[in-house]
DNA sequence: TATATATATGAAAACGATTTCATAAATACG
DNA sequence: CGTATTTATGAAATCGTTTTCATATATATA
């Protein structure tokens, strides 16, 4: 591959002038411009990004850290990130952690050595102190999951309100025995969604029953398993609110296996509105998260931090929506 | 951020020695080693990747070009790519093209400027000539979709055989009126799968009926729409083979809307075995592609090309499997 | 003991661009 | 017409590493 100096030599100018032509900068005479572009074409020259990056001490990349790219929820967000990154001249690097802190930290370390100009964290395994520390060195935005009380912006929805709305919808349908399939982990969304569930129950004068509360790991299998247990209760619930679509689908298949009709015998509501939710039979009532937009806004915020050195605001809350489908209403 | 020179100064050694310590190279005395690591810790120094990359003229990255990361088929492959890339010290950059050639070519151009050390192409929109040209400059591997007759390795399954097996399965169940929902595009897999369909029919002495053949775009909607039309035929098919799971699911929902029972009234077979296929009700009979492994093998091949300058072989065919589920067998 | 080799280190070059600074030529201004 | 400004260009510095080459010291070998 030819370098800027090869081009300069062939065009009979200096490397500086070639650089000016490449970067459509300033004050290049038309003849020189022509000579240089001709040389560039003849040599099929492409500016070397490694050289450029070093000189500018800018990587022109951003890093996306997430648990699992094959989770449709995250991959849709990544699409939003990628589009906005592109519009702003950034490339996207991917770090799939499999929720392994060590793997995440390996990347974080490299980040400090300018692996990327900034990062978007989804469901990070790091603790608040480390995140706060990181935010001093590198522009970072939290997307969906986030830690509170640290100087790091986040983009998410109002999880408590969303869960509240979902459960209120079930109550509005006449349900009183409403179970909850959540998750026990460090993520704020898990506790907020439970909080919303409890608030809706409380408001309707329904007692919170711990027997109706169980915890999975967002997987199909865990939804399946927990539903089986709920169905064994002497007072079987008539509705279930799950904090993820995948668990909801697992729960539905579980109930179907027991020859129960959805929603007649038991109504199920999910959370996320992944692509598959509307295809599923019965199609899934769920909280729609604006995944693509979450990605876009997170990336927008990150560009802002990178280029202006500071965040415009710490809290971005995007709108969610209750999407009512066959799994709760015939 | 401190540089290698800061560390050198603090440790009272030269930058070269610090570099030796960082790279666990050779011949550093224990005392020096200690001094340097101490200075590194005190300054919280991380080697700058931009400097390192330039000096080595190696980006230590690979680029993955694909139509759509939120397609569960591709995202699972990316996971395989990422894991193997990591094991070999490469970072993964993502290019989501939305099947837009211009977007793809923008990245390809940068590739020539060392944006990455190599690339994996999935369902590229480029023509054979351009791909052949590209393969002269950059190590590139085609994954799943590929062009034949160019000096660029590919990793895929035997699409013709897979389709043949799927259709043979339907024939084995007694079906004779078997429709085909394919795709009309430049991709080899589309024509190969159709070829397999025709071969299975021919072998069973079933006439190929063009009325039973229609083409979608891999989407849920297209599967849905085409099934509607197939059901309007005076001689309605009793089985349908779809070249993607998503279209198969669309087709099933379409038939369900017409009050047909799956598989009693009409059996449906998909292709890919995406994550959702087993969750769907009825669970989907399909050809299982080893998506994760396809990614792993593609990345393995790419590492080989990058580091040894040549491909070991041009053709990698991985095993597929017919997975029989509820959508064809009660 | 004299020489050959191994070990440990530093100075300087190199990777390939961009950018600063200097300067010459061209143009504008009074 | 003389000076000030703008335009166009090149030389050299710079970004932060790694690596080559040179060299001094320590160790091994004969």
Asked if pLDDT for residue A191 goes beyond 80, the answer is yes
* Structure confidence at residue A31 as a pLDDT band (50, 70, 90): very high
pLDDT at residue A113, as a whole number: 96
Facing B53 at nearest CB: one of A47, A50, A79: A50
- Please, is A256 exposed, middle or buried when counting C-beta atoms within 10 Å of its C-beta (0-12, 13-18, 19+)? middle
Q: Which of A35, A54, A73 is the last residue of a domain?
A: A54
> Mean per-residue pLDDT for B301-322?
96
Asked if pLDDT for residue B60 goes beyond 90, the answer is yes
Judged by CB atoms closer than 8 Å, whether chains meet at A82 and B70 is answered as no
In a domain, A324, yes or no: no
Q: Largest Cα–Cα distance of chain B, in whole Å?
A: 89
State the ipTM, two decimals.
0.94
Asked if pLDDT for residue B26 goes beyond 90, the answer is no
* Structure confidence at residue A128 as a pLDDT band (50, 70, 90): very high
pLDDT tens, B134-152?
Answer: 999 999 999 999 999 999 9
pLDDT at residue A10, as a whole number: 95
Q: What is the mean pLDDT of chain A?
A: 96
A183 & A250 share domain: yes
Q: Please report, for the domain that includes residue A26, its CATH number.
A: 1.10.260.40
> Mean per-residue pLDDT for A242-256?
98
More confident residue, B230 or A27: B230
Report angle CA A165, A169, A173 to the nearest 5 degrees: 165
A296 & A192 share domain: no
Q: How far is CA A15 from the centre of its chain?
A: 43
More confident residue, A180 or B26: A180
Judged by CB atoms closer than 8 Å, whether chains meet at B78 and A70 is answered as yes
Residue B104: both structure tokens together: 């793809």
Q: Which residue's alpha carbon is at the shortest distance from the C1' of C14? A: B55
What DSSP assignment string belongs to A139-202?
-EEEESS--SSSS--EEEE-HHHHHHHHHHHHHHTT---EEEEEE-SS-HHHHHHHHHHHHHHH
Distance A233 CA to D10 C1' (A): 85
pLDDT at residue A184, as a whole number: 95
**B263 cis-preceded (ω within 30 degrees of 0):** yes
B187 & B301 share domain: no
A282 & A196 share domain: yes
Helix runs in chain A, H state only: 4-11, 15-22, 30-43, 49-56, 72-87, 101-112, 128-137, 159-172, 188-203, 220-232, 245-257, 291-308
In a domain, B330, yes or no: no
Judged by CB atoms closer than 8 Å, whether chains meet at A280 and B279 is answered as yes
Q: Which value, to the nearest 10 degrees, does the dihedral of the CA atoms of residues A297, A298, A303, A309 take?
A: 120
Size of interface A-B (CB pairs under 8 A): 131
Pairing of strands B61-66, B321-323: unpaired
* Structure confidence at residue B306 as a pLDDT band (50, 70, 90): very high
Judged by CB atoms closer than 8 Å, whether chains meet at B59 and A82 is answered as no
pLDDT at residue A104, as a whole number: 97
Asked if pLDDT for residue A25 goes beyond 90, the answer is no
Kindly report the three-state secondary structure assignment for every residue of B115-179.
CCCEEEEECCCCCHHHHHHHHHHCCEEEECCCCCCCCCCEEEECHHHHHHHHHHHHHHCCCCCEE
Cβ contacts of residue B197 below 8 Å, gap of 6+? Answer: B163, B164, B167, B178, B180, B182, B241
The predicted model scores a pTM of 0.95
* 3 state SS of A122: strand
Sign of the Cα torsion B176, B182, B188, B189 reads negative
pLDDT at residue A330, as a whole number: 86
Report angle CA B95, B98, B99 to the nearest 5 degrees: 100
pLDDT at residue B24, as a whole number: 84
Kindly state the helix (H) or strand (E) to which residue B222 belongs, with its residue range: helix B220-232
Q: Please report, for the domain that includes residue B153, its CATH number.
A: 3.40.50.2300
B129 & B168 share domain: no
> Mean per-residue pLDDT for B58-87?
97
Nucleotide nearest to A113 (CA to C1'): D16
Nucleotide nearest to A52 (CA to C1'): C17
* Structure confidence at residue A221 as a pLDDT band (50, 70, 90): very high
Residue B75: both structure tokens together: 């995202």
pLDDT at residue A27, as a whole number: 84
In a domain, B328, yes or no: no
In a domain, A40, yes or no: yes
Pairing of strands A91-96, A61-66: parallel
Q: Which residue's alpha carbon is at the shortest distance from the C1' of C18? A: A55
Chain A closest-CA separation from residue B184 CA (Å): 24
In a domain, A94, yes or no: yes
Chain B closest-CA separation from residue A208 CA (Å): 31
Kindly state the helix (H) or strand (E) to which residue A322 belongs, with its residue range: strand A321-323
| DSSP annotation of A135 | H
pLDDT at residue A24, as a whole number: 84
Distance B34 CA to D25 C1' (A): 20
Round to whole Å and give the CA distance between A12 and A134.
48
Chain A closest-CA separation from residue B104 CA (Å): 12
In a domain, A329, yes or no: no
* Structure confidence at residue B330 as a pLDDT band (50, 70, 90): confident
In a domain, B226, yes or no: yes
Asked if pLDDT for residue A328 goes beyond 80, the answer is yes
Report percent pLDDT > 70 for chain A. 100
pLDDT at residue B1, as a whole number: 85
Nearest Cα residue to A153 out of A315, A318, A317: A315
pLDDT tens, A42-100?
Answer: 999 999 999 999 999 999 999 999 999 999 999 999 999 999 999 999 999 999 999 99
Residue B183: both structure tokens together: 């795709």
* Structure confidence at residue A135 as a pLDDT band (50, 70, 90): very high
Q: CA separation (Å) from B149 to B65, B146, B152, B220? A: 21, 10, 8, 33
> Strand D nucleotides below 7 A of a protein CB?
7-20
B148 & B296 share domain: yes
Q: Which of A23-32, A171-180, A223-232 has the lowest mean pLDDT?
A: A23-32
| Length reported for chain B | 330
Q: How many domains does chain A have?
A: 3
Q: How many CB atoms lie within 10 A of CB B25?
A: 10
B201 & B281 share domain: yes
B178 & B215 share domain: yes
A262 & A307 share domain: no
Chain A closest-CA separation from residue B160 CA (Å): 27
pLDDT at residue A211, as a whole number: 96
Asked if pLDDT for residue A26 goes beyond 90, the answer is no
In a domain, B323, yes or no: no
pLDDT tens, A291-319?
Answer: 999 999 999 999 999 999 889 999 999 99
pLDDT tens, A98-124?
Answer: 999 999 999 999 999 999 999 999 999
Distance A114 CA to D6 C1' (A): 39
Whether B4 contacts B15, CB under 8 Å: yes
Whether B320 contacts B289, CB under 8 Å: yes
> Strand C nucleotides below 7 A of a protein CB?
7-20
pLDDT tens, B115-133?
Answer: 999 999 999 999 999 999 9
> Mean per-residue pLDDT for B182-191?
96
pLDDT at residue B90, as a whole number: 98
pLDDT at residue A96, as a whole number: 97
Distance B289 CA to D25 C1' (A): 63
Q: Which residue's alpha carbon is at the shortest distance from the C1' of C12? A: B16
A184 & A305 share domain: no
Please give the residue range of the domain that contains residue B247.
159-289
pLDDT at residue A225, as a whole number: 98
pLDDT at residue B304, as a whole number: 96
pLDDT at residue B74, as a whole number: 97
* Structure confidence at residue B27 as a pLDDT band (50, 70, 90): confident
A194 & A283 share domain: yes
A104 & A122 share domain: yes
Judged by CB atoms closer than 8 Å, whether chains meet at A70 and B75 is answered as yes
């Amino acid at each position: 591959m030819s370098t800027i100096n090869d081009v300069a030599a062939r065009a009979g100018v200096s490397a500086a002038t070639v650089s000016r032509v490449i970067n459509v900068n300033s004050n290049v005479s038309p003849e020189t411009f022509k000579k240089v572009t001709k040389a560039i074409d003849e040599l099929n020259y492409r500016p070397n990004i490694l050289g450029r990056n070093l000189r500018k001490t800018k990587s022109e990349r951003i890093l996306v850290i997430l648990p699992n790219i094959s989770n449709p929820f995250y991959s849709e967000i990544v699409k939003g990130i990628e589009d906005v990154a592109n519009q702003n001249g950034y490339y996207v690097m991917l770090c799939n952690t499999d929720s392994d802190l060590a793997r995440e930290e390996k990347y974080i370390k490299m980040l400090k050595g300018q692996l990327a100009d900034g990062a978007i964290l989804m469901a990070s395994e790091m603790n608040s102190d480390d995140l706060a520390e990181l935010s001093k060195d590198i522009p970072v935005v939290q997307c969906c999951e986030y830690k509170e009380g640290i100087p790091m912006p986040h983009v998410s929805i109002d999880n408590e309100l969303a869960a509240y709305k979902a459960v209120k919808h079930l109550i509005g349908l006449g349900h009183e025995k409403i179970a909850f399939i959540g998750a026990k982990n460090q993520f704020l969304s898990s506790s907020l969604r439970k909080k919303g569930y409890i608030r809706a129950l409380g408001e309707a004068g329904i007692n919170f029953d711990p027997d109706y509360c169980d915890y999975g790991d967002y997987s199909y299998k865990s939804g399946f398993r927990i539903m089986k247990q709920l169905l064994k209760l002497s007072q079987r619930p008539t509705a279930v609110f799950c904090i993820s679509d995948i668990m909801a689908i697992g729960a539905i298949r579980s109930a179907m296996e027991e020859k129960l009709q959805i929603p007649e015998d038991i109504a199920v509501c999910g959370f996320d509105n992944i692509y598959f939710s509307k295809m599923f039979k019965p199609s899934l009532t769920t909280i729609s998260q604006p995944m693509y937009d979450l990605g876009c806004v997170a990336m927008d915020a990150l560009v802002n931090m990178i280029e202006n050195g500071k965040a415009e605001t710490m809290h971005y809350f995007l709108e969610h929506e209750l999407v009512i489908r066959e799994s709760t209403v015939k």
